[in-house]
């Protein structure tokens, strides 16, 4: 059962689940698409992430109860299959400042960390936090390490890190607490681009080691 909660006086937060799971993301994307195909009156936009969708609305046109009704009618009717697009290659140089530390914490060699991280394809669960920041999952169990105890004030654009079962790409310079294992030259955010972010929620990618 979807949970629908007020997020202030002009948005609803639809929570479909509480864990990182491709099928929950599939439902989020299907709901997002259904609302784009047939936008309810007053819906201004939606923001997907992991297992929830934020719906912004114009309170001069609709209200929370009416919008919730429309959304509830879609529950069980949408096709939650995850759209399978092409897999993008993200070139990565594994020379991040935390690579040795991650190796230590996971009892792997640095090469073992690299092999494990580059061994699988990832699903983009969310583009959020900062412009273009790409949250991917999930890393192999043996690579799951908690965030750094004290975040860095400046993480350079292109940095690739691990936090728990997630791996992510910093698209612009920002503060951050993820364990940085490498860096890509790929440009993930361009305000002049259409769309401005290289990836969108639901995309697939894999990391390709470069020298």
Partner 1 sequence: MIEVVDAGRWTTVQDRGRPGYERFGIPPGGMADWFAAAAANRLVGNHPDAALLECTATGPCLRFADESVVAVTGGEAASVASWRAIRVAGGSILEIGAINPGLRTYIAVGGGIDVPIVLGSRSFCQRGAFGGGFNRPLAKGDRLTIGDVGHSQPLVEEWPGSHRLPLRGPWEVRVMAGPDRDAFDPSALARLLATACRITPQLDRMGMRIATPGLRLQVAEILTAPVTAGAIQVTPSGELIALLVDHQTTGGYPVIATVITADLPLLAQARPGETVRFRDVDAAEAGRASRRLTGWLQPEP
Question: Omega into 75 within 30° of 0, i.e. cis?
Answer: no
Distance, CA of 123 to CA of 143 (rounded, Å): 16
Cross-strand bridge partners of residue 188: none
Q: Is 139 in the site for partner 1 (CB under 8 A)?
A: no
Q: Is 153 in the site for partner 1 (CB under 8 A)?
A: no
Residues ≥6 apart with Cβ < 8 Å to 180: 96, 97, 98, 99, 155, 159, 160, 161
* 8 Å CB contact between 143 and 117: yes
Report the nearest approach of partner 1 to the CB of residue 190 (Å). 9
Q: Is 37 in the site for partner 1 (CB under 8 A)?
A: no
106, 167, 174, 184: residue in contact with partner 1 (rule CB under 8 A)? 174
Report the nearest approach of partner 1 to the CB of residue 200 (Å). 7
Report the nearest approach of partner 1 to the CB of residue 89 (Å). 21
Q: DSSP character for 118?
A: T
Q: Quick one: which segment of 80-88, 108-116, 148-156, 186-194 binds partner 1 (CB under 8 A)? A: 186-194
Q: Quick one: which segment of 71-79, 97-105, 120-128, 138-146 binds partner 1 (CB under 8 A)? A: 120-128
Report the nearest approach of partner 1 to the CB of residue 180 (Å). 18
Instruction: Give CA separation, 149 vs 104, 106, 141, 143, in Å.
Output: 16, 16, 20, 17
Burial 141-170 (b: 16+ CB within 10 A, else e): eebebeebeeebeebebbbbbbbeebbbbb
Q: Is 172 in the site for partner 1 (CB under 8 A)?
A: yes
Q: Is 5 in the site for partner 1 (CB under 8 A)?
A: yes
> Where do contacts with partner 1 occur on this chain (CB under 8 A)?
5-11, 13, 15, 17-20, 44-54, 56, 59, 63-64, 126-133, 135, 171-174, 189, 191-192, 195-197, 200-201
């Amino acid at each position: 059962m979807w949970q629908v909660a007020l997020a202030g006086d002009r948005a609803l937060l639809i929570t479909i689940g509480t864990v990182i799971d491709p099928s929950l993301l599939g439902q989020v994307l299907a709901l997002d698409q259904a609302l784009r195909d047939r936008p309810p009156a007053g819906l201004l936009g939606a923001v997907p992430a992991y297992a929830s969708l934020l719906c912004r609305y114009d309170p001069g046109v609709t209200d929370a109860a009416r919008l919730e009704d429309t959304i509830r009618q879609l529950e069980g009717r949408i096709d939650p299959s995850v759209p399978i697009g092409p897999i993008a290659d993200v070139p990565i140089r594994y020379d991040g400042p935390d690579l040795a530390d991650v190796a230590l914490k996971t009892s792997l060699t640095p090469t073992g960390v690299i092999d494990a991280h580059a061994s699988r394809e990832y699903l983009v669960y969310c583009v959020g936090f900062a412009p273009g920041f790409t949250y991917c999952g999930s890393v192999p169990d043996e690579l799951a390490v908690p965030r750094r105890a004290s975040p860095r004030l400046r993480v350079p654009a292109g940095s690739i890190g691990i936090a728990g079962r997630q791996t992510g790409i910093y698209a612009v310079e920002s503060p951050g607490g993820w364990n940085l294992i490498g860096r890509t030259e790929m440009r993930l955010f361009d305000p002049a681009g259409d769309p401005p972010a290289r990836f969108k929620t639901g995309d697939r990618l894999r990391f390709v080691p470069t020298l």
